[in-house]
A and B are shown apart, each in its own frame.
Chain A
Amino acid sequence: MPLVRSGKIVEDRFLRVADGEPVPERGPVIVSAERFLADADEFAQREDAVGVIWPNSRNVSELEPHLANLALIALVFPVYKDGRAYSQARVLRERFGFRGELRATGQVLRDQFLFLMRAGFDAFEVAKPADATAFEEAARRYSVFFQPTGDGRVTVARVRTSRDARPVSVRSERVSA
């Protein structure tokens, strides 16, 4: 499954460690939520990067005390139609100020890329290689954004009401009168 980061297909430097498997001494790892919370103090001491895979049914506020010790949080889309992780991502980024890698895993299709980026994801485990290749195109699909989110894109409302903004042409279309 290709990993896309900063718009490019990259190698995944994190090792996903299953519950019950030993955590290697060195190297970046991703562990389950249960394992991470059970050994949070131990993981806090670890020199190399630690990531956690967090289910979409669990409140991310449980992670708040540990965010400084986390290099990565992987949020899950069991199917792409299950959108709970979008809310989790925005809360992690915009409320808790998480600055590490926020990774989308599960059924991730190109049709979600822009939504994911806007919600704060910056890494994508993409289900289909062709979607990974099409990342740049999909990420530029839209140029118009209505919602202010943590990604900082300028909203339409802000441009429309800003004095310095480029003038908005209202085409002479059929209007009453």
Chain B
Amino acid sequence: MYLYDDFDRTLLAERVAEFRGQVGRRLTGELNEDEFKSLRLMNGVYLQLHAYMLRIAIPYGTLASDQMRKLAHVARRYDRGYGHFTTRQNIQFNWIKLAELPDAMADLADSRLHGMQTSGNCVRNITTDQWAGVAPDEIEDPRIWAELLRQHLTLHPEFSFLPRKFKIAVSAASHDRAALAIHDLSVRLYRNGAGEVGFEVGVGGGLGRTPFLTKIIKPFLAKRDLLSYVEAVLRLYNQYGRRDNIYKARIKILVHELGAEKFGREVDAEWQSIKDGALALDPAVIAEIAARFRYPDYERLEDSPPALAAARKADARFATWVDNAVSNHKMPGYAIVTLSLKPVGKPPGDCMADQMDAIADIADRHSFSEIRVGHEQNLVLPHVRQGDLPEVFRALDAIGVATPNVGLVSDIIACPGLDYCSLANARAIPVAQEISKRFRDLDVARGLGRLHINISGCINACGHHHVGHIGILGVEKNGEEFYQITIGGRADEKAQLGTLIGPAVPYDDVPDVVEDIAQAYLELRQQSDELFIDTIERVGVEPFKERVYATR
């Protein structure tokens, strides 16, 4: 966990006081809506179809159990008893009242939580690998760098009114669990040929109307230069990013129009003039931040304790769940446990207040009071003793978060869509519910292997449909909901954008289309362990297209 000190607490208190004043000025009419909108957005407050929505940041996806309980409290006290975990390590409450928001924020601030910079044209919550600090394949804890960036970019006086939002992701593992390539700025920590650890920096990724993947503009950046380099990127963007057209205002368009190489040279020129100034990172500052990340006092344990093998043998459901939801931990005898927030037929990513409290209790008993939030809209208990797994399974199963569908066809990422969002053209959640019901037979789902479905209710692509193995985009045609289907997208270290397979299909047909695609894959794959995404890479999209549109 990151330990807050008086500075962090004071800042949050000052922020709440400022927002309380702004809400007061709005309610009396001293601020008009146009003036207020940017101010509320910078505090994570949107106006949706039915009510205000509050988005709360979970920096680098790390949540303490007391913070989870505070989220449950806010859900009950100010909302309707549930929250929605998003694809950007945030949680959203959908029914909150403007007049009560300052009180809700004050309650959150007591537990070191806030909505600062979760919306608006500023640097958003910095995301990272939900397994940071425990993943066997990472070279360092990326959260130290995410935290350094977070602090530097919190209420940054120069970059709080950018042309458009700016999303940063940080990863330090060989497997990309942070979807680096779809961010405005990607920071990948790695060891170069000379044995030094530094960053590979990419810019200009982003989905939406004009999707792009990041382009690498700095193959190797020394640690001391991280803040100055990011400052140079943002300074260029702030001055030259387009402000005449909201759809062309993201940095990806600037990078595309200038060309990545030229953009990189411009960044370098700006960076040269600031890199040896006040932003050069002092090793003492890095050490100070690193020291704020406290790791559990792990016991000395052996992997695969006999009790685990016995429990697997005794309970087939348990064994199935372990195979699906439990991953290797860097410490022997420990495991990483993923909690599926995708029960069949329910809204992806939703979590009830009672579940939050129960998860907090389980984390206290079995995961050193720590919980993680991942971009796939699932939760993680990062430090579970392997010997505790049977008990943890029973506890999670009792509250409905042990569906063994992690990474499978029913582990769907979906935006809130037209059921909540004022930007949406079509619904996303009911589509996810119907698909998950269609694949409710877990043997069928397991037979399909790893298969990511991503659903967005509009072109803004909050459901990341472009990078779903199967991507589903809702559009509106003459008042009816239709859905465009793409396949072959992926958001990992081999990121690519999916290919549209044909004309949009009506709402009722979507589960059939997904089933057709799944069936085509089963017939096309070379052997049972060839993944869906690998089959598409090998055979292309044509055979899938033919299958789907043969009878349509």
The residues of A with any CB-CB pair to B shorter than 8 Å are 80-84, 86-88, 90, 95, 109, 111, 114-119, 128, 130, 141-144, 146-149, 156-157, 159-161, 168-171, 173-177
Contact = CB atoms under 8 A, between A and B. Distances in A.
B370 A119 contact: no
A161 B158 contact: no
A176 B17 CA distance: 31
Given A83-B161, A87-B235, A111-B39, A144 B14 contact: yes
Interface in B143-180: 151-152, 154-162
A177 B369 CA distance: 8
A111 B151 contact: no
Nearest 5 pairs of A and B residues by beta carbon: A83-B161, A118-B157, A177-B297, A176-B368, A148-B278
A175 B1 contact: yes
Nearest to B368: A176
Nearest to B17: A141
B239 A87 contact: yes
Contact of A81 (B7, B11, B38, B279): B38
Contacts of A173: 3-4, 64, 66, 112
Q: Which of A86, A157, A161, A174 has the most CB of B within 10 A?
A: A157
Nearest to A111: B39
B315 interface: no
Contacts of B14: 141-144
B238 A141 contact: no
A49 B370 CA distance: 62
Contacts of A109: 35
Contacts, number: 126
Contacts of A130: 30
Interface stretch (B282-290, B448-456, B501-509): B282-290
Given A146-B151, A147-B158, 5 more contacts: A80-B38, A83-B238, A117-B157, A173-B66, A177-B297
A86 B273 CA distance: 17
A9 B297 CA distance: 58
11 contacts: A82-B243, A86-B161, A115-B160, A141-B17, A141-B18, A146-B151, A147-B156, A160-B7, A161-B282, A176-B296, A176-B370
A177 B331 CA distance: 15
Interface residues of B, number: 53
Contacts of B157: 86, 114-119, 147, 149
B234 to A, nearest CB: 9
A176 B6 contact: no
B366 interface: no
B94 interface: no
A123 B441 CA distance: 68
B109 to A, nearest CB: 13
Given A86-B238, A146-B154, A174 B64 contact: yes
Nearest to A144: B11
B294 interface: yes
Nearest to B156: A147
Contacts of B526: none
B383 interface: yes
B284 A161 contact: yes
Interface string B121-161: 10000000000000000000000000000011011111111
A157 B296 contact: no
Contacts of B158: 83, 86-87, 90, 115, 119, 147, 149
Interface of B: 1, 3-11, 14, 17-18, 22, 30, 35, 38-39, 64-66, 112, 121, 151-152, 154-162, 235, 238-239, 243, 273, 278-279, 282, 284-285, 288, 294-297, 368-370, 383
Contacts of B7: 144, 156, 159-160, 168
Given A141-B18, A176-B297, A161 B238 contact: no
A149 B514 CA distance: 53
Nearest to B364: A174
A36 B540 CA distance: 62
Contacts of B279: 148
A137 B338 CA distance: 47
A143 B383 CA distance: 37
Contact of B162 (A83, A90, A168, A174): A83
A147 B152 contact: yes
Q: Which of A88, A109, A144 has the most CB of B within 10 A?
A: A144
Contacts of A159: 7
Nearest to B122: A83
A90 to B, nearest CB: 6
A61 B155 CA distance: 26
B65 A160 contact: no
A173 B161 CA distance: 34
Contacts of A170: 3-5
A149 to B, nearest CB: 6
Contacts of A175: 1, 3, 294, 369
B4 A83 contact: no
Contact of A156 (B1, B3, B151, B162): B151
Contacts of B39: 111
Contacts of B282: 157, 161
B191 to A, nearest CB: 26
Contacts of A146: 151-152, 154-156
A109 B288 CA distance: 36
Nearest to B279: A148
B449 to A, nearest CB: 34
Contacts of B278: 148
A131 to B, nearest CB: 9
B368 A111 contact: no
B243 to A, nearest CB: 6
Contact of A80 (B35, B155, B156, B235): B35
